[in-house]
Amino acid sequence: MDWQPNESRWRQVYALMEERIADGTYPPGGRLPSLMELQQEFGIAVATGQKVLRQLRDDGLAVMYPGLGTFVTELPKP
C-alpha cells in the first residue's frame, strides 16, 4: 500500500476496508481479515488493526464475535 504521509495509517486502512465492503469484496455476512491478516497485508501494528476493526464495528459495518472473528454486517433487505 502506498501510504499517504498526511493521513494516519489506521484511517487509510479503514478507508480501504470500507471500500472493499462497499464493492462486495467482503460481502454481507462475510468474514473480515483477522488482526494477523491485516498485519501481514498492510504491515501495521496490532493496535492499528484493532482500531480499524473497532471503527468498522462502531460505524455499523461489522460485528465482532469473540473467538470467531469480525464479519460484515448483514444489511436489511428493502
Report whether pLDDT(77) > 80. Answer: no
Tell me the C-alpha distance between 22 and 28, whole Å: 10
Q: Would you tell me which CATH number, out of the four given (1.10.3210.10, 3.40.50.300, 1.10.10.10, 3.30.1520.10), belongs to the domain 9-71?
A: 1.10.10.10
- The mean of the pLDDT values for the chain is 93
State pTM to two decimals: 0.89
pLDDT tens digits along 6-29: 999 999 999 999 999 999 999 999
Buried/exposed 57-75: b ≥16 CB within 10 Å, e otherwise: eeeebbeeeeeebbbbeee
Please check whether residue 32 is in contact with residue 62, taking contact to mean a CB–CB distance below 8 angstroms.
Answer: yes
pLDDT at 76: 53
The terminus-to-terminus CA distance of the chain in angstroms comes to: 36
Tell me the C-alpha distance between 12 and 1, whole Å: 9
Q: What percent of the chain has pLDDT over 70?
A: 95
Tell me the C-alpha distance between 68 and 78, whole Å: 28
- Can you give the residue ranges of every domain in the chain? 9-71
